[in-house]
Structure 1
């Protein structure tokens, strides 16, 4: 007797899912949990969190070189160190989530820490007694003759690093929790999960865009207290939104053994087996766990060969912003674009390109490759690295033009003078950075989520984020070393007077290092064997 397809489909939707529970701990059904209805809550939380994070980080160099009176090189290095710590702490957050608290509870706690840290930043900026001491200059003067109080600096940096801790718990869990709402073993939900990574990045770019176009203007023109207070209020709303969706989520119960402990045991066995052929030692650890551990080790070359992409990524929130601050940013007769708002070109290009990628490029590529995703995850990452290299070469050319213009108009020794060169010169490097992110950033997110064991997916996304943490540290190290070295022979490449600096040399150096990295990436990507079926071929 033939089975009614409609009844079969309804039965599949109502049937409890294996190993998945709802918020009450009962077996979850496919129809009553997960999917896009749950993901929309989670994407909303991520948009709010990115708004809050970039509400601080995108304009941080302006605060450090302004109210805190740090030099350009010191401020850029400080931002890179903080960004590095913020991107490395997700490894700790993933460990806590996957071993003890679960992703949902970790997100809740991280949101509370976010609210506390942003509240403290607002407090430090608003309390009159913590403002820089009166030293006989006009309010708002940021010259070195009027340094901020030590207490203000201490509270600011404590709050800043508390925010990094909050981001460390929030970032690896929210995206993994969102992807968990799709069943990779279901054909329809598997395709939806692949699209989820594209639209996830599309959504969070709206948060970034709102930050750099609205919030940075408020910070530069209406005050830092309001500029930090708004992200605090937004994170309160994000926490409320997360809690509202609780009844719709899918949850994965803990295994009997911590996935970290299991994987550490397996990695130890793998290391020992390199020095011994003992079958007894091989059998000491479950073969499946050994395969998982070996799979994690095979991810390391891909991780390492993406580090200089992360170094390039670190520049748009630091040196790109300082570069733009010297140029003609007027639109009309009165409005002046805040330097950090130039980063909106990145978000706009991402928002514009993701639909093109998802709806045009992927279907076109799918016809030739027969892959559900059009191209493999590693091909996507590599394509973004090529575009990133090109963005650095263009940034160097634009900076050469800016320095030449400063010389032609006799403005070399006038660091605060506006260079008669339109902000539109910077648009290509920002747009290419955004397009590169659509390929590489989204590709890395999907790759490190897909290629790790199911129980370690928070770790996989933390592993991806650590690329940008280490990349920020490398960027800060390079800037510090180059600054000290070039200062001995005259003007530093990162002189406070950017008209005597040489950001163009630094950009060219990064372009060269990116080219070497790309060659290494291609070598290791060609040798990589995918661990899961996500890159399988579509059947005709």
Structure 2
């Protein structure tokens, strides 16, 4: 295998492979349905059942969304450092179930909610401290549980395969399951909550969580478990400290002058030309660093070349990772503005049905799910027949960048048309008026976002998983979650900044210039794509496609 140490109870038993696929994707589907069931409609629940003001409800929802995308990093660190992916996912699924059950109780027991008030009343009774405490405890447990499972399961699934192509296919189907389940929960369960009862909606979420947990546990005897070996971050910090302490020491060109561990095997020789070569000082042996038996005498002054190389690999990939932040931030802005646009447009679909404005973003999930299937079944096999190799992660991410920029361009054109119609009908001074333009005009921009995500999200997860150090496999897949979390908060801050310094985003969009916001995002997308190309062309794969023709697709500019 790829250098991973595996804890196998029976050396003769066969674990891992596609037999685990059903259990892991079943767990992903159940847990995603559960999360979407309470998160998608949280703002409405807070306003209707807890008498929370709309702005405060939106702020609570923003915090929950941001935390759900940042908590996976904590779960990944725990998995890599201490107990492994399976136990983190299992414990987190139990915590999530507790949170949803507690949320179900708030919808069932009248004593856990404030007295309901009539619409428009200014005398609504706010929740008591006890009611707030129970509500926030439920949300915190559900949020922590979701964060500990989402991308931990992605790593756990990829760990079952040896070949990068199989890992890439798994990530495709992982995201297909994630997006399809999110679409179902954002429509079916939300409809039940809005039209039948919150109790039934949250109850279905709890059942889905339980089913996901059951799938995860039932497959345990088939899983290949990667054994954690303590915190990998300690070794990385040691490299930085040792490099600083030896900053005045002259580097050597001799392999034997560097420390490779007690076995003394020089698996990573220090070449004369290498990026961040200054880090090699951390492994350079000086007097008193190593004892006579080959063990380390001063842990914070000497490191192995393997630890140095791990940090070097992280530093190589960080520029590529940063392009992902600037890729996801425009998507976050588009998501918020698209819902506001939908509120001002004709949402009638047939004589008796009106599309909920909050459900318009489900189109992104649907297009992503469809695109993932087409990519896995048709585009990738066709590409392999034409070129003799599968598309690399960097190529897939690059396509995502292009489609993302095109979606912003389409959004700007559609909004320009909407504003022309609004001005032609003299609606600039009528905030509540609906522009006689179908909401279906928003479909192309959302379709492009969805297709783009089908390319760049699996591509990023596959790249980080295969290129991160072995000790950081779970953390690697959580990096995309961190990107989404940072982008989510950054998009909120940028929208607030635009509102403060320009007149583009007034409360009445018919009197604003949302199209200018989209044109600005087009410029950001083009600049970010150029930055991405610079990073991609200067990046040299460390692990992707080793032993195959894939590894030669990126140039040798790394020296």
TM, length-normalised to structure 1: 0.83
Tell me the secondary structure at the aligned position of residue 420 of structure 1: strand
Structure 1 range deviating more: 389-398 or 429-438: 389-398
- Of 375, 380, 392, the residue aligned with 1:376 is 392
**Structure 2 CA distance, aligned partners of 1:502 and 1:158?**
41
CA 168–400 in structure 1, closer or farther in 2 if over 3 Å, else same:
same
Hey, what does 1:8 align to over in structure 2?
A: none
**Structure 2 CA distance, aligned partners of 1:130 and 1:414?**
40
**Structure 1 CA distance, aligned partners of 2:112 and 2:486?**
33
**Structure 1 CA distance, aligned partners of 2:48 and 2:511?**
20
**Structure 2 CA distance, aligned partners of 1:129 and 1:36?**
48
**Structure 2 CA distance, aligned partners of 1:379 and 1:104?**
31
CA 309–132 in structure 1, closer or farther in 2 if over 3 Å, else same:
farther
**Structure 2 CA distance, aligned partners of 1:224 and 1:394?**
37
- Does the CA contact (< 8 Å) of 1:370 and 1:538 recur in 2? no
CA 468–101 in structure 1, closer or farther in 2 if over 3 Å, else same:
same
- Does the CA contact (< 8 Å) of 2:160 and 2:223 recur in 1? yes
Tell me the secondary structure at the aligned position of residue 29 of structure 1: coil
Hey, what does 1:170 align to over in structure 2?
A: 149
Hey, what does 2:6 align to over in structure 1?
A: 20
**Structure 1 CA distance, aligned partners of 2:5 and 2:473?**
16
Tell me the secondary structure at the aligned position of residue 421 of structure 1: strand
- Of 198, 211, 222, the residue aligned with 1:248 is 222
Q: CA deviation at 1:533?
A: 4.1
Hey, what does 2:207 align to over in structure 1?
A: 233
- Of 519, 526, 532, the residue aligned with 2:543 is 532
Q: CA deviation at 1:130?
A: 5.0
**Structure 1 CA distance, aligned partners of 2:46 and 2:339?**
13
Per-residue Cα deviation, 1:316-350 (whole angstroms, up to 9, x for no partner): 65332333233322322222222233223222222
CA 447–116 in structure 1, closer or farther in 2 if over 3 Å, else same:
same
Q: How does 1:127-166 map to 2 (within 5 A)?
A: 127-131=109-113, 133=115, 137=118, 141=119, 146=124, 148-149=126-127, 151=129, 155-166=134-145
Hey, what does 1:334 align to over in structure 2?
A: 352
Q: CA deviation at 1:427?
A: 0.8
Hey, what does 1:443 align to over in structure 2?
A: 459
Q: CA deviation at 1:314?
A: 2.2
- Does the CA contact (< 8 Å) of 2:105 and 2:112 recur in 1? no
- Does the CA contact (< 8 Å) of 2:80 and 2:472 recur in 1? yes
Per-residue Cα deviation, 1:34-57 (whole angstroms, up to 9, x for no partner): 111112110111122222233344
**Structure 1 CA distance, aligned partners of 2:509 and 2:101?**
34
Structure 1 range deviating more: 277-286 or 95-104: 277-286
- Does the CA contact (< 8 Å) of 2:404 and 2:448 recur in 1? yes
- Does the CA contact (< 8 Å) of 2:83 and 2:228 recur in 1? no
**Structure 1 CA distance, aligned partners of 2:227 and 2:184?**
36
Q: CA deviation at 1:405?
A: 3.5
2:22 matched to 1:40?
Answer: yes
RMSD: 3.1
- Of 31, 34, 46, the residue aligned with 1:52 is 34
Q: CA deviation at 1:157?
A: 4.4
Q: CA deviation at 1:272?
A: 5.2
Structure 1 range deviating more: 200-209 or 213-222: 213-222
**Structure 1 CA distance, aligned partners of 2:41 and 2:449?**
18
- Does the CA contact (< 8 Å) of 1:84 and 1:471 recur in 2? no
Q: CA deviation at 1:18?
A: 8.6
2:366 matched to 1:392?
Answer: no
- Does the CA contact (< 8 Å) of 2:310 and 2:469 recur in 1? yes
Per-residue Cα deviation, 1:470-494 (whole angstroms, up to 9, x for no partner): 11121121123333445xx6xx715
Per-residue Cα deviation, 1:210-251 (whole angstroms, up to 9, x for no partner): 123312222333344433332222111111111111111111
**Structure 2 CA distance, aligned partners of 1:236 and 1:122?**
14
- Of 502, 505, 518, the residue aligned with 1:493 is 505
**Structure 2 CA distance, aligned partners of 1:294 and 1:208?**
37
Structure 1 portions without partners, runs of 5+: 1-11, 185-189
Q: CA deviation at 1:265?
A: 2.4
CA 419–259 in structure 1, closer or farther in 2 if over 3 Å, else same:
same
**Structure 1 CA distance, aligned partners of 2:125 and 2:327?**
36
Higher relative contact order (CA closer than 8 Å, sequence separation 6+): 1
**Structure 1 CA distance, aligned partners of 2:241 and 2:387?**
38
Tell me the secondary structure at the aligned position of residue 313 of structure 1: helix
Hey, what does 2:299 align to over in structure 1?
A: none
**Structure 2 CA distance, aligned partners of 1:204 and 1:112?**
19
Q: CA deviation at 1:417?
A: 4.5
**Structure 1 CA distance, aligned partners of 2:320 and 2:4?**
33
Hey, what does 2:279 align to over in structure 1?
A: none
Structure 1 range deviating more: 361-370 or 56-65: 56-65
Tell me the secondary structure at the aligned position of residue 254 of structure 1: coil
**Structure 2 CA distance, aligned partners of 1:498 and 1:309?**
25
2:73 matched to 1:91?
Answer: yes
Hey, what does 1:358 align to over in structure 2?
A: 376
